[in-house]
A = this chain, B = another copy of it.
Amino acid sequence: MKNNTKQNGQHEDIKKLGKLIEKIDFAMFTTMDDDGTLRSRPMSTQQVEFDGDLWFFTGADAAKVHEVRRQQQVNVSYANIKKQEYVSVSGQAELVRDRAKIKELWNPIYKAWFPGGVDDPNLALLKVHVEKAEYWDSPNSTVVQLVGFAKALVTGQSYEGGENKKINLASPMA
């Protein structure tokens, strides 16, 4: 029974995480460079129901693909300052060249920069297998909560006004 409750809670957390990500299209995708530098760049998350993996289109020859091959650990962050919603996702990234998956996620508007369409040999996907996630979600209703939330923003610590949930997808029974 206890495990069920925990699993249901976990399920709700993942659902909530998926909703937050869905609302914020553009993520900052952080990788580690050859010299240990952490770099981030804006990336558009492919809209599919969140099941623990995030998907991004990429050129197979992009610098970040090289970085991910060397160091799979990445961070994907989502920030909606206006709504004070923030998500940190940690996971392992890998290049996926599976044509079936590319076709599944393909949208004709992408043809502008992959003129060969789904058959463009440089067209590929970056899949991030989520291991850990954290989100900050302010209900945004009272000044106390905003102050509490501001505390989290200034100090990076959790606050009582809103939610700060940590989710561990790698070991759901933990």
Interface residues of A (CB under 8 A from B): 24-26, 28-30, 32-33, 36-44, 56-59, 62-64, 73-75, 77, 79-82, 86, 88, 90, 109-110, 112-113, 131-132, 134, 136, 147, 150-157
Residues in B neighbouring A155, C-beta threshold 8 A: 57-59, 62, 113
Identify 14 residue pairs between A and B in the complex whose beta-carbon atoms are under 8 Å apart, listed by A's number.
A25-B81, A26-B81, A28-B28, A28-B86, A30-B77, A38-B38, A39-B75, A41-B86, A41-B88, A41-B152, A44-B153, A62-B156, A62-B157, A79-B79
| Chain B nearest Cβ from A5, distance in angstroms | 27
What is the copy number of this chain in the assembly?
Answer: 2
The interface residues of chain A, by DSSP majority, are classed as: strand
Considering only CB atoms, which chain B residue lies closest to A90 in the complex? B37
Residues in B neighbouring A132, C-beta threshold 8 A: 37, 39
